[in-house]
Amino acid sequence: MSLDLHPARADEARRIWPVAKRARLFGSVAEFDAFRTEGPWRLQVSDRGECAVLERWREHLGIVAMRGAWCSAERMPAFVDRLMQVARDQGMDTLLSPLVAEEVACVYEAAGMRLFEDIVVLRRVSGRRAARRTPLPDGVRIRSAIPADLGPLYALDEMCFDEFWRYDASRLARHFVEDRLMVAEESGEVIGYTLATVIGSSATLGRLAVVPDARGRGVGACLLAEALEYLERTGAATVSLCTQRDNAVSRALYAAAGLRELPGRLCFLVRDASDG
């Protein structure tokens, strides 16, 4: 079964916008329009209505991520084949699925993708009593990030995350402009940070990290509590975040802060050029 995809024209993009908005892939139509204009290949559609929102996952990796994908299970193998071709045309050799529920993973597996990351989603619902805020260790303060922090934050991310998860410089710069970045500072050095995003009534905590040398002193718990308090003040009805299932430290930290793990599993799947 063949399937033709092409970069969405303006009229096709208009039809996709409501779906992308419902999936909370973009904060506004202006952001969505800019996304398409800056990289038309990132919005792929077929004449039968299949559609994918793509992006380069990280600048240091040759991975094209499917931020969103709309395709029947039956046509998914042909859809994924075509998206692999789009990735290759962009000089990349790996395709990453959207974050999907375990029950849906088989649809992607049937399209030649394999399980790659196992993710837990945690949520806090507004109105729940916030966890008690532990005092910051002496000499540590939490403040808003400034442009001069971007270099140190990039280095910090590299220390805290493996190459799949760590941000590249441009992604960090984008988060700095679009989202809320708070840093923990000690003796003039950035030792940790959080990243929070609010779209409508839903908030996401996208990042929590503390440099290895500063761990185990309560900095992570304080950064988390500060971000949750801020998100509560914005009126966000829910705060969600994801972490790897095997990240026992962060799961313990989030549980202690009153976040509840949602039932079920989410996963990322990948297909490499070598997978055929």
Ligand X SMILES: CC(C)(COP(=O)(O)OP(=O)(O)OC[C@H]1O[C@@H](n2cnc3c(N)ncnc32)[C@H](O)[C@@H]1OP(=O)(O)O)[C@@H](O)C(=O)NCCC(=O)NCCS
Binding interface with ligand X (CB under 6 A): 160, 207-210, 215-221, 243, 247-250, 252-253, 256
Residue 75 or 133: the one with the smaller Cβ distance to ligand X is 133
The alpha carbon of 211 is separated from its chain's Cα centroid by a whole number of angstroms, namely 21
212 vs 151: CA distance, rounded Å: 18
In the complex, least distance from residue 248 CB atom to ligand X, rounded to whole angstroms: 6
Residue 92 or 221: the one with the smaller Cβ distance to ligand X is 221
Residue 78 or 223: the one with the smaller Cβ distance to ligand X is 223
Structure-block tokens of residue 274: 């070598």
In the complex, least distance from residue 175 CB atom to ligand X, rounded to whole angstroms: 13
Residue 252 or 273: the one with the smaller Cβ distance to ligand X is 252
Map tokens 């966000």 to a residue. 236
267 vs 250: CA distance, rounded Å: 18
Residue 48 or 132: the one with the smaller Cβ distance to ligand X is 132
In the complex, least distance from residue 206 CB atom to ligand X, rounded to whole angstroms: 8
248 vs 65: CA distance, rounded Å: 26
Give the nearest residue (CB) to ligand X: 220
In the complex, least distance from residue 270 CB atom to ligand X, rounded to whole angstroms: 20
168, 59 in Cβ contact below 8 A?
yes
Residue 39 or 152: the one with the smaller Cβ distance to ligand X is 152
Residue 86 or 160: the one with the smaller Cβ distance to ligand X is 160
List the alpha helices (DSSP H) in the chain.
10-22, 29-38, 76-89, 102-109, 150-160, 169-178, 219-233, 248-256
198, 28 in Cβ contact below 8 A?
no
In the complex, least distance from residue 228 CB atom to ligand X, rounded to whole angstroms: 13
Residue 75 or 251: the one with the smaller Cβ distance to ligand X is 251
181 vs 197: CA distance, rounded Å: 9
Give 196's contacts (C-beta < 8 A, 6+ positions apart).
Answer: 179, 180, 182, 203, 204, 205, 206, 227, 230, 231
Q: Cα-flanking dihedrals φ and ψ of residue 72, to 5°?
A: -70, 155
Q: How many residues make up the chain in this entry?
A: 276
Q: Cα-flanking dihedrals φ and ψ of residue 160, to 5°?
A: -100, -20
In the complex, least distance from residue 93 CB atom to ligand X, rounded to whole angstroms: 27
In the complex, least distance from residue 221 CB atom to ligand X, rounded to whole angstroms: 3
In the complex, least distance from residue 24 CB atom to ligand X, rounded to whole angstroms: 19
6 vs 108: CA distance, rounded Å: 21
